[in-house]
Amino acid sequence: MKEVILCKYGEVILKGANRSDFEAKMLKQLRQRARRIGNYKIYYSQSTVYIEPLDEEAIDNIDEMYYQAKHVFGFVGVSRAFACEKNIDTILEVVKTELAPKLRGYKTFKAESKRSDKRFPMTSPEISGEVGGAVLSSVPGIKVDVRNPEVIVRVEIREHEAFVHAGQEKGAGGIPYGSSGRGLLLLSGGIDSPVAGYMMAKRGVQLEAIHFESYPYTSERAKEKVLDLAKALTNYTMRIRVHVVSLTKIQELLRDNCEEDYFTLMLRRYMMAISLKLAHDYDCEAIITGESLGQVASQTMKAINVTNSMTDIPIFRPLIGMDKEEIIRIARQIGTFETSTLPFEDCCTVFTPRHPKTRPELEKVIEEQNHLPFDELVEEAYRTKEIIVVKQFGENKFE
């Protein structure tokens, strides 16, 4: 039985004059993914995108295509429909043999029909009536509830074929990837930053990522872990460029020359300066971090202000008001949690102070900074960075 995939638009419907730009991005992303999987026809009609397999291989790979469709931002619902001949007997047969097994366990349903081919000899209510009858006779215990059904059975009579489907899964939501410009994600190996990246990507921000390491204090495995996290995000973004910057020299300098209480804050100022330079060079209009207010000493309002004061572009902190529990729920949903909790050291945990400042004074931090070689070390760390392109399909590429 031939199946097609239907993707329902989300808030893109509300866009005015530039709606077509958004639609074009969503279609492009589906097509780019489809190209890796098989030969599919992808087209738009009435707030729905249809993905039709065009040959046997595409039919065989429909599960993979469905998985891909669920990860494209901009669609709120994704479902699979059976395609069949436009003839009521065939349609009812499909409902009884293909759909009924999927409807087992549901208590209530409603049948809906749409006829874009007005030559079809029955009206929509007539089709719904017949289809409803077929469901009632083939699914034990199910009842009709037109107001609040658990599942809606839909029949669409289209130009060449009829589509029969039931049940819709959640799509990725949000707005199309890349429709809000570019942002630089500060990606650590922790739980929070991948979630922050995902949340901004969902709001259309194309991600560029920077990771700070401290080799040999941090290991090669710690870096691979971060690339694995980026890989998980490529389910949504298709590719992410990760810039890996070594902080070893800066950390050794701070260990020997900086007041211990201020170590983390100073380190974060170096990190921010390097990130700003990168954001500038790669046209990123915002910086994204996984900070959550009060979670650790460096995430109090005063501490946040110490890094905030350095930048002239916005810092997006989508997790700022979230509890750890909520963040973990999203991490599990996007498939980063397992990797994030692998036990590898992070550069921020190397030489951590015993009593980090929670209420630092900005002037004091700037004074500390003035005693240290700042710009030179920022330059050097930036110049020696490594670039890795992480792709959803295929191996990572070192540039």
Regarding 360 and contact with ligand ATP (CB under 6 A), the answer is no
By the 8 A CB rule, do 233 and 198 touch? yes
Regarding 194 and contact with Mg ion (CB under 5 A), the answer is no
Residue sitting closest to Mg ion (CB): 190
User: Which residue in the set 124, 138, 235, 295 belongs to the binding site for ligand ATP (CB under 6 A)?
Assistant: 295
The amino acid at residue 134 is A
Q: Whole-number minimum distance, CB 192 to ligand ATP, in Å?
A: 3
Beta bridge partners of 148: none
- Among Mg ion, ligand ATP, none, the one that 187 touches (CB under a kind-dependent 5 to 8 A) is ligand ATP
Where are any strands of DSSP class E within the chain? 3-9, 40-45, 48-53, 75-84, 108-115, 143-144, 151-157, 162-166, 169-170, 182-186, 206-213, 239-246, 286-288, 315-316, 386-391, 397-398
Regarding 222 and contact with ligand ATP (CB under 6 A), the answer is no
Q: Whole-number minimum distance, CB 190 to ligand ATP, in Å?
A: 2
- Among Mg ion, ligand ATP, none, the one that 272 touches (CB under a kind-dependent 5 to 8 A) is none
- Among Mg ion, ligand ATP, none, the one that 275 touches (CB under a kind-dependent 5 to 8 A) is none
Phi, psi (rounded to 5 degrees) for 397? -120, 125
Regarding 228 and contact with ligand ATP (CB under 6 A), the answer is no
By the 8 A CB rule, do 139 and 96 touch? no
Only segment of 5-13, 167-175, 285-293, 364-372 that touches ligand ATP (CB under 6 A): 285-293
Q: Which of residues 159-188 bind ligand ATP (CB under 6 A)?
A: 186-188
Task: Say how many residues touch ligand ATP, by CB under 6 A.
Answer: 20
Both tokens of 283, joined, read 């046209």
Only segment of 22-30, 140-148, 173-181, 294-302 that touches ligand ATP (CB under 6 A): 294-302
Both tokens of 230, joined, read 């980026």
Q: Whole-number minimum distance, CB 349 to ligand ATP, in Å?
A: 8
User: Which residue in the set 113, 180, 188, 339 belongs to the binding site for Mg ion (CB under 5 A)?
Assistant: 188
| Cβ proximity to ligand ATP, 65 vs 186, nearer residue | 186
Regarding 211 and contact with ligand ATP (CB under 6 A), the answer is yes
Q: How far is the C-alpha of 317 from the C-alpha of 324, rounded, in Å?
A: 14
Parallel/antiparallel/unpaired status of strands 206-213 and 151-157: unpaired
Does the N-terminal peptide bond of residue 216 adopt cis geometry, omega within 30 degrees of 0?
yes
| Cβ proximity to ligand ATP, 199 vs 347, nearer residue | 347
Name the strands in the sheet holding 239-246, side by side, starting at the edge strand that comes first in the sequence: 315-316, 286-288, 182-186, 206-213, 239-246, 386-391, 397-398
Distances (CA, A) of 263 to 250, 349, 360, 361, 382: 11, 11, 11, 14, 20
Contacting positions for ligand ATP (CB under 6 A): 186-188, 190-193, 210-212, 289-291, 295-296, 298-299, 346-348
Contacting positions for Mg ion (CB under 5 A): 188, 190, 346
